[in-house]
Structure 1
Amino acid sequence: MGILSTSLSLTRYKIVENVPDTLWSEIQDRLLKFSFQDIDNTTDERSFGWVCFDNMLDSRWQTAPPTKGEFLAFALRLDTRRIPPAVLKKHFQIHLDEFRKKLKEQGQKYISREQKKELKEQVKLKLLTKTLPVPAFFDVVWDMQKNLVYFASTRPKVLELFEELFTKTFELHLEPQSPFFKALNILGQEQLPKIENLEPTIFV
């Protein structure tokens, strides 16, 4: 669900470094450098990058700029092309049977491991050309005054991807504002051993 939805999963970050004033004028250029690249007409299994907050199909920001008053708003788009294991297994077996028949006619009795591996790759590529990638969109809102970044997901793999791409794009690092990190910021690094050993209290 997006930031403008009535309910959503949200992860909040604090930018570790001081943001240089020169960065603000470079925001759109940096987003464009790492913008989403479509893979509909390829056999690539994954593609990700930034897109416009107002139009998830717009990776050139022609619909609207990322600046929204005191905030920056854009989105991470992640397209994934997957072949269900059962489908791959079925079509591999079909092609394997046909290959065995052809080899038998040529007087060859056995199929080598390399031949099987190559055949499986060929089948996979063939199926990939027939499989459309599934798109996913995750909104990003950056509070420029407080250096807080809000990301519309809590999925660990998506968070890892977002954090790496954010750092690569803006040369800034994000610190998750979880209760653990908030407590560490308030109490100080010297309290880290105590915080790490805390256990939840059951009141019922």
Structure 2
Amino acid sequence: MPILSASVGLTRYRIVEEVEDDLIRSIPNLLVKYAFKDIDHTAEERSFGWVNMDDMLDDKWSISPPEKGQYYTFSLRLDTRRIQPAVLKKHLQIALNHELEEAKKEGKNFISRDRKRELKEQVTLKIRARSLPIPAIFDAVWNVPDNRLYFACSNSKVLDMFEEYFTDTFELTLEPLTPFFLAMDMLGEDAAQKLESLDPTYFVG
């Protein structure tokens, strides 16, 4: 989701560790190292990685650098191939019918369970290779001096992927800034016990 949209759902993070100057200088190189790999000409089901926030096709940051003042900007690109169940069912049935015809020539009237499973895998791979992956883009803005990062997504599965890939790339840990952790950040860790004992207030009777 573009972070410059009229409305956007954001997930806020803080980076747990102190970010060393050497790591900050290496951010552009690490983004390229862990950049998105295209799967248009393969049969892969999914691919994800970093791309330029200014252009989803730029995985070398040749159009513009990731540095924007005190911020680093980049996007997580996720390409996924989806096969409609009805399409798979149709072509699997065609393959099974053909297989049964060949089996009858050898005096057999059935297809083994293992062969059916094998045919399903072959048909799935064939259809996947013929379908184009659907791209999705999720922008990230990293405020380096403040140790804060903003990610334009709130989907739990995408967040898990982003957090894990961010750690793989930069060897840093992201902590979601939920209301509880924001309060901890403002009041200090000594307030943790009091915060945990708070009861919710209901404003609607």
TM category (shorter chain) comes to: over 0.9
1:168 maps to a residue whose letter is: D
Give the 3-state SS of the residue equivalent to 2:161 in structure 1: helix
Q: Which residue of 2 aligns with 1:88?
A: 88
Aligned length: 204
**CA displacement at 1:196 relative to structure 2:** 7.0
| Contact 2:81 2:134 (8 Å CA) reproduced | yes
| Contact 2:138 2:151 (8 Å CA) reproduced | yes
Q: Deviations over 1:159-181 (max 9, x none)?
A: 00000011111111011011122
**CA displacement at 1:202 relative to structure 2:** 3.6
Task: Output aligned runs, 1:58-137, within 5 Å.
Answer: 58-137=58-137
**CA displacement at 1:189 relative to structure 2:** 6.2
Q: Which residue of 1 aligns with 2:204?
A: 203
Where has structure 1 moved over 6 Å in runs of 4 or more? none
Q: Which residue of 2 aligns with 1:172?
A: 172
Q: Which residue of 2 aligns with 1:149?
A: 149
Bigger mean CA offset, 179-188 vs 77-86: 179-188
Query: What's the TM-score, normalizing by structure 1?
Result: 0.94
| Contact 2:180 2:195 (8 Å CA) reproduced | no
**CA displacement at 1:195 relative to structure 2:** 2.4
| Contact 1:52 1:58 (8 Å CA) reproduced | yes
Q: 1:77 to 1:104 in 2, by over 3 A?
A: same
Distance in 2 between residues matched to 1:156 and 1:200, nearest whole Å: 26
Q: Deviations over 1:171-203 (max 9, x none)?
A: 110110111222344363663586277445243
C-alpha RMSD of the superposition: 1.7
Q: Which residue of 1 aligns with 2:40?
A: 40
**CA displacement at 1:97 relative to structure 2:** 1.2
Distance in 1 between residues matched to 2:46 and 2:53, nearest whole Å: 21
Q: Which residue of 1 aligns with 2:189?
A: 188
Calculate percent identity across the aligned residue pairs. Answer: 50
Q: Deviations over 1:86-136 (max 9, x none)?
A: 211121111111111111122112211110011101100110111100000
Q: Which residue of 2 aligns with 1:17?
A: 17
| Contact 1:78 1:136 (8 Å CA) reproduced | yes
| Contact 1:17 1:172 (8 Å CA) reproduced | yes
Give the 3-state SS of the residue equivalent to 2:172 in structure 1: coil
Q: Does the alignment pair 1:159 with 2:153?
A: no
